[in-house]
Amino acid sequence: MTPTDWIDDNAHPLATDTDTDTDTDAPLDDLEPLLAVVEDASVVGGGDGSRAAHEVTVLQARIARLLVIRAGFRTLAFDGGRELGEALDAFVRTGAGDPRKLLRQSEPFWNIAPFLHLIQWAREYNRAHAGDEVRVLGADMGADAVAAWGTLPPPPDDPRNMAALERGFAERITAWHAATGHRVFFWSTTSHASNGLRRAVHFPASIPRGQRNAGSLLRERFGSAYRPIGFTFGRGQVRAYGNGGVLHVPPPGHALAEHTLDAAHPDSPAYLLDLRTTAPPDISAWRDAPTRTRMIVPGYDPAHHAEPCMTGGSLKEWFDALVHVHEVTPTQLLP
């Protein structure tokens, strides 16, 4: 049996109809197999490798709604700043403020329609569920994360900055969970959300350094009650956040895990794969083998599309489940 055969036999087809971006009452039935993955989870991480693919962000938002409605999750955390998180939290609790304006003034990867519609949906959910409200948490502690050094922050390229960022995410979510008792969905990237004890991120002109990320610290704190979900895709177009244009992403080459993932379930636009499923030895060896997953970053060059990636672990180590989308279109920035 090949990995592709095994995925064909075990994955669950998902819908990628982008009308679900605006129709927050759209059915979530195709996502129901995910409930078995998140059962008994305290924190679920949902990370992708591009932040720039519309169909992926729609699925992240749909999964967030599923976790609230069907699994009792009550905090939507994201890797944005504390100030933005507090303003969005005030809106979903009281209706104060303008989330569209807030997101338009934030980082471009939060200035997108699916995230805005999720926040607006959370406000409507809270209006109908007084006393059982959904909260929003900005998990990036910013300057507070580097304050532990006790002196001026290290230079920007110092790896201690990344270590402080990762620890800040984990500590903020852990403290929030302890204070509220809420089950938390953490919307982020594979770099932050995966269980990466030794993960390294390869950017253009960077020196990749293997170090622990937020997901590994959350796994250390919560054990198996931290469940990371990875979002991958095969090909298409993504938003170029550096200049606001569009980038063409070719099909993945053999060096990337997406090459195998994209060969499976060709008749479904997307699928969910539970990586904890019992598998024969050859499939277990594939899941446990060192791999690399695609990362779309500023400076991404389609001619060298396999070079920006995440390494330092295996699919089984990094994620409890995968959501794979075959073809994507660029994220839609808010007008």
Give dist(CA 325, CA 223) in Å, integer.
28
> Is the CB of residue 137 less than 8 Å from the CB of residue 172?
yes
Asked whether the predicted pLDDT for residue 19 surpasses 60, the reply is no
Give Cα 214 distance to the centre of its chain: 12
Handedness of CA 156, 206, 318, 111 (dihedral sign): positive
**What superfamily would CATH give domain 3-328?**
EreA-like (biosynthetic domain) (3.40.1660.10)
For 14-27, give one letter per residue: b (16+ CB within 10 A) or e.
bbbebebbeebeee
User: Of 78, 63, 331, 309, which Cα lies nearest the Cα of 193?
Assistant: 78
Give dist(CA 223, CA 216) in Å, integer.
10
Q: How far is CA 334 from CA 92, 112, 260, in A?
A: 19, 5, 34
Give dist(CA 196, CA 144) in Å, integer.
23
- Which pLDDT tens digit goes with each residue over 208-267? 678 899 999 999 999 999 999 999 999 999 998 766 789 999 999 999 999 999 999 999
Helix (H) or strand (E) holding 90: helix 82-94
Which residues have CB under 8 Å from 280's CB, separation 6+?
A: 1, 6
Backbone phi, psi, residue 59, to 5°: -65, -35
- Which pLDDT tens digit goes with each residue over 303-326? 777 788 999 999 999 999 999 999
| Mean pLDDT over the full length of the chain | 91
> Is the CB of residue 307 less than 8 Å from the CB of residue 216?
no
pTM, 2 dp: 0.94
Give dist(CA 124, CA 77) in Å, integer.
18
**Which pair of structure tokens corresponds to residue 119?**
């926040």
Give dist(CA 189, CA 173) in Å, integer.
15
Q: What is the pLDDT of residue 9?
A: 96
DSSP state of 223: G
Lowest mean pLDDT among 137-146, 254-263, 266-275: 137-146
What is 138-168 written as a DSSP string?
EEE-THHHHGGGSSSPPPTT-HHHHHHHHHH
Confidence band, pLDDT 50/70/90 cuts, at residue 152: very low
Mean pLDDT over 63-89 rounds to 97
Asked whether the predicted pLDDT for residue 167 surpasses 70, the reply is yes
Give dist(CA 292, CA 202) in Å, integer.
10
Q: What is the percent of the chain with per-residue pLDDT over 90, rounded to a whole number?
A: 77
Q: What is the pLDDT of residue 175?
A: 97
- Domain ranges in the chain are 3-328
